[in-house]
Chains A and B, each alone.
Chain A
């Protein structure tokens, strides 16, 4: 079972649940004030949105909320965690992923389809994926800043780098590969009606965890 964590200001939790269901999995919600993840949780999604209104820094306040203790324990036990957009920001602020997400170099909200390069196929999330994924981005603070020499950069925007990330990074994993964050929205690429089904593989990995 996949637990989708809801914070005040989460927006994309329903899309995340639908994405899990699209791979034949079962999803339930966890609430930010909970001390524990639901019993039987195998995979965790931190969804997109604007938790706590993005006040202070995106993801900063959510990263200190009660449920994050349980999310941290899940990570330490080797459980799979996928952070999407604001969820990626939360994982970085929590120190579960390296670096931080900063305001886009354009200082504008960017909403469009991007072509991602899969640089690292050796994580539980990316083992079965192809070399390129077509997935949309929609964010204002999506420029990853960190040390590319030590971080495990899993997805790249390639030469285009629309947000101004260091090393054109679109997604990074922890050293073990069981915690993955990305700014693009795979949950919005799970049906041909949406123009792409390239996001399904990440949810498939969570469901099979």
Chain B
């Protein structure tokens, strides 16, 4: 079994209202120097099969990410 980690993030240039809300809250709590906060999603997959990375990429393209607004990265952790 192989652990594959998928990270899905809002695309560059796409407004991220949740990130902005978190950024505002951090600033109100006194944290200085925050230029940007973006919220995404980490998905951990435990996969069998000969090509877990390829399978994870296919899952991203089919369901896990929406290419209109999201980018994804796939990392095999072994």
Contact = CB atoms under 8 A, between A and B. Distances in A.
Contact of A107 (B18, B62, B63, B69): B18
Interface residues of A, number: 17
B21 interface: yes
Contact of B17 (A56, A93, A103, A146): A103
Given A105-B15, A107-B21, A100 B63 contact: no
Contact of A102 (B21, B62, B63, B69): B69
B64 interface: yes
B68 interface: yes
Contacts of B14: 145
20 contacts: A56-B63, A56-B64, A60-B66, A61-B63, A93-B66, A100-B66, A100-B68, A102-B17, A102-B69, A103-B18, A105-B15, A105-B17, A106-B17, A107-B17, A107-B18, A107-B21, A145-B14, A145-B69, A146-B68, A164-B15
B17 A100 contact: no
A169 to B, nearest CB: 14
Nearest to B62: A64
A128 B62 CA distance: 38
Interface string B38-75: 00000000000000000000000011101011000000
A164 B66 contact: no
Given A104-B17, A164-B17, A57 B66 contact: yes
A177 interface: no
Interface string A87-108: 0000001000001101111110
Interface string A65-83: 0000000000000000000
Contact of B63 (A64, A104, A145, A146): A64
Nearest to A57: B66
A107 B39 CA distance: 13
A190 to B, nearest CB: 32
Nearest to A166: B15
A145 B18 contact: no
Contacts of B66: 57, 60, 93, 100
B64 to A, nearest CB: 7
A151 B66 CA distance: 18
Contacts of A64: 62-63
